[in-house]
Amino acid sequence: MCKVYVDGENLTIEDVVRVARENVEVTIPEEAKKRVRRSREILEKLVREDHVIYGVNTGFGALSNVRISPQEIRQLQSNLIRSHSSGVGKPTCRENVRALLLLRVNTLAKGYSGIRLKTLETLVEMLNKRVHPVIPAKGSVGASGDLAPLSHMILVLIGKGKAEYQGNVISGKKAMEKAGIEPVRLEFKEGLALNNGTQLMTTIAALTIFDAENLIKMTEVATALTLEGLLGILDAFDEKIHNVRPHQGQAVTACNIRRLIDGSMLVQTGREAVKKNRRPHDPYSLRCSPQVLGAARNAIAYAKRVIEIEINSATDNPLIFPETETCLSGGNFHGQPVSLAMDLLGIALTMVGNISERRTARLLDEKLNNGLPSFLISHEAKRGVNSGLMTVQYTAAALASENKVLAHPACADSIPTSAGFEDFVSMGVTAAQKAKQILENIEYIIAIELLCAAQAIEFRGPERLGKGTKIAYSTIRKTVPPLKEDRVLSNDIEKIRQTLKNRTILNKINRTLKID
């Protein structure tokens, strides 16, 4: 298993996933170590020369006008971490903690934070030896970054707080002892270098974006399978249509659906439909799927660009610039770029769920599904006695409606903190957490559509499917059997969701044809 090299410049979202979910080892290259040492040397020089430096020899936030004596500047740092460890609620999940440690190491490795190399290497050691701080999920307004979550992370670094180690939650001191790691005694500037930054919101964002890229592809698979289940019309996916409105995501979605249904005997052209006394085109939830899903693809791509910039950025304050031997105070800790991107992502994903729920409703309604039985239960079963797939649409509708509430933008909100000194905040963690919850809801919505579309194919003939949809159908059928009489459906939904999350369907399809 290859290591991830953390140099502050080249970390990718895929790297974050590998460290967070696969426990890949992390190392700092020598060039980055040199930058860290040089940054510390310049900071120490400025302190010796008695420069006034925010958070080094001044108080914090609204107390930044208070000068701190040389005898108290080290105590200032440990007090900062204690006082800012004010998070509440359930702990954030293990993969978030691992990604949080990684992103904090990466931003410090850029060499603009003035931290000691020893301190940075201790964070790496915690990550590699799997000492995972217990970090309450709530308490950040995304102003001076994620102060409370990062402070809880640093408590363990200094031998305080709580940590999960080898499956048990114990004191931070014991976790460090068991792992053979020496806790750090913070020197001047280090507390501020460690807890100023956007790392929790960016952590959640990076993992959510990675999952969203998979989700949009699986939504296209579900759309293609539903298109065949409803005897849909091909014309709307013709390349010529999308060439004259060249939004990239729209073209990719249309191309993917064409590949998935290639060879299908269930879809038809508009001209063929007219000959059968049908309309020449489908309802919007089918016909406009490239436009809707393509717009979501573009939003995901935008969010990904923002987050990949953010994970390789210096986000604490103040920053040390060794080339000019200066220390400047600014606002790179402010989470607005992340907050805006994640709100956009949440809105985009919400509409993905909304249109999927409409396709599911159409599959189940005998007035709209081109001859399929009501709720996709066989006429041979006693209808009324058997409800079929009726209520899975209720669940999809509930989740889609919940997402509409969650889609309200957090970045449009702000609430002053620190006696009004920090008077405009980003709410970045809220935006990221909402986007993650929306994504999880949509995984279930798409699983429900896949369940219903596969059931529709039982009445059309699986042998008539396209190249890609045939693979999707057979994978679903290896997971859940056709519905012949009523059974507990939540089990089926959960099983299909797992095939979506672990990329089982997508990986099998990609062995035969490429889904971009």
Residue with the bigger pLDDT between 266 and 384: it is: 266
In a domain, 236, yes or no: yes
| Coil, helix or strand at residue 168 | strand
Residue with the bigger pLDDT between 381 and 374: it is: 374
In a domain, 184, yes or no: yes
* pLDDT at residue 69 in the model: 77
pLDDT digits (tens, 9 = 90+) for 33-73: 999 999 999 999 998 888 887 877 777 766 777 777 777 77
* 254 and 174 co-located in one domain: no
Residue type for position 305: R
Residue with the bigger pLDDT between 360 and 282: it is: 360
In a domain, 213, yes or no: yes
Indicate the residue among 197, 214, 233 that finishes a domain.
197
9 pLDDT exceeds 90? yes
* 119 and 153 co-located in one domain: yes
The residue with tokens 């190249």 is 467
* pLDDT at residue 292 in the model: 98
Pairwise CA distance, residues 165 & 47, whole Å: 38
Bridge partner list, 26: 4
224 backbone dihedrals φ, ψ, rounded to 5°: -65, -40
Query: Which domain, by its residues, includes 73?
Result: 4-197
| Coil, helix or strand at residue 327 | strand
Residue with the bigger pLDDT between 143 and 367: it is: 367
pLDDT digits (tens, 9 = 90+) for 203-227: 999 999 999 999 999 999 999 999 9
| Coil, helix or strand at residue 4 | strand
* pLDDT at residue 204 in the model: 97
In a domain, 515, yes or no: no
* 245 and 376 co-located in one domain: yes
* 23 and 96 co-located in one domain: yes
Q: Tell me, what CATH number does 443's domain have? A: 1.20.200.10
* 211 and 183 co-located in one domain: no
Residue with the bigger pLDDT between 106 and 71: it is: 106
In a domain, 60, yes or no: yes
* pLDDT at residue 67 in the model: 78
Please list the active-site residues: 54
Residue type for position 320: I
Please give the tally of structural domains in the chain: 2
Q: Tell me, what CATH number does 118's domain have? A: 1.10.275.10
In a domain, 16, yes or no: yes
In a domain, 367, yes or no: yes
* 174 and 117 co-located in one domain: yes
Rank 135-144, 266-275, 307-316 by mean pLDDT and report only the highest.
307-316
* pLDDT at residue 468 in the model: 97
1 pLDDT exceeds 70? no
Indicate the pTM of the whole model: 0.95
* pLDDT at residue 403 in the model: 98
Comparing CA positions, the residue from 201, 111, 129, 196 lying closest to residue 165 is: 129
> Taking the C-alpha atoms of 503, 198, 130 and 215 in order, what is their torsion angle to the nearest 10 degrees?
-10
The model's confidence at residue 419, banded by pLDDT at 50, 70 and 90, is: confident
Pairwise CA distance, residues 316 & 335, whole Å: 11
The residue with tokens 């001044």 is 58
Indicate the residue among 197, 223, 242 that finishes a domain.
197
Which tokens hold the place of 236? 């709307």
* 222 and 188 co-located in one domain: no
Average pLDDT, the chain: 94
In a domain, 516, yes or no: no
* 401 and 252 co-located in one domain: yes
pLDDT digits (tens, 9 = 90+) for 464-485: 999 999 999 999 999 999 999 9
* 172 and 235 co-located in one domain: no
Tell me what the mean pLDDT of segment 349-368 comes to: 97
Q: What whole-number percentage of the chain has pLDDT above 70?
A: 99
The model's confidence at residue 75, banded by pLDDT at 50, 70 and 90, is: confident
* 147 and 73 co-located in one domain: yes
* 181 and 214 co-located in one domain: no
Pairwise CA distance, residues 55 & 238, whole Å: 60
* 282 and 323 co-located in one domain: yes
Tell me what the mean pLDDT of segment 350-379 comes to: 95
Produce one character per residue of 169-195: b if its CB has 16 or more CB atoms within 10 Å, e if not. Answer: ebbbbebbeebebeebebbbbbbbbbb
Tell me what the mean pLDDT of segment 322-349 comes to: 95
Indicate the residue among 142, 172, 197 that finishes a domain.
197
